Amino acid sequence: MKFTPGFLLFVALLLSISSVSPAMAQKDVFIKEYLERLETSRNYLVLVARSMPEEHYSFKATPASMSFEEHLMHITWAMDWHSQSLMDGRKARDWNTDMELQVDQKSKEEMIAKINETFDTTIAFISDFEVKRLEERLDYFGANRTKRQILLLLSDHITHHRAQMLVYLRLKGMKPPRYVLYQ
């Protein structure tokens, strides 16, 4: 039986797609699902931030604690550091001199705008991130982690600080926004 060059090319293409596609699809699914989660996380965080009256933004649960506004801006700082510096290699911002992602006399609306801007930048970065780079490993405070793990750590970090903000709302006698699933 004799096969034409076109038929052989077609069979080779089918074989190559079937051997590569499942691995690539799995990684693409991770990014897609992660971005969905991150967008939901943003919406919930902004809802929490809007729930606290501006006059209580400086509230601290204890003198040694971060204030409500410091938790909010710390989330922006961490998103920037995890994505732009840790995952992409940009030099980290100097916490002592760079005020862009710190409270630094910002109003409630300016902080919420900065949160949204940082989420936009982070989402754009992750959307364009080469999925094969998720396997790259780096040092994360003494632990050897993949960049996929770094993204999961970032989600945990956002949740950790937002949860403290929810407690602050309760301590000020307010009912926090209803929990949003899958964020």
What is the pLDDT, as a whole number, of residue 10?
53
The pTM for the full model equals 0.83
**CATH (one of 3.40.50.300, 1.20.120.450, 3.30.9.10, 1.20.1250.20) for 27-171:** 1.20.120.450
Average pLDDT estimate for 21-38: 76
Average pLDDT estimate for 5-34: 60
Q: Flag whether pLDDT at 2 surpasses 80.
A: no
Report how far residue 86's alpha carbon sits from residue 160's, in angstroms, rounded to the nearest whole number: 19
Report how far residue 115's alpha carbon sits from residue 109's, in angstroms, rounded to the nearest whole number: 10
Q: Flag whether pLDDT at 71 surpasses 90.
A: yes
Report how far residue 38's alpha carbon sits from residue 32's, in angstroms, rounded to the nearest whole number: 10
Average pLDDT estimate for 91-111: 93
Write down the domain spans for the chain: 27-171
172: its two tokens: 């000020």
Range in 7-11, 87-91, 136-140, 141-145 with the lowest mean pLDDT: 7-11
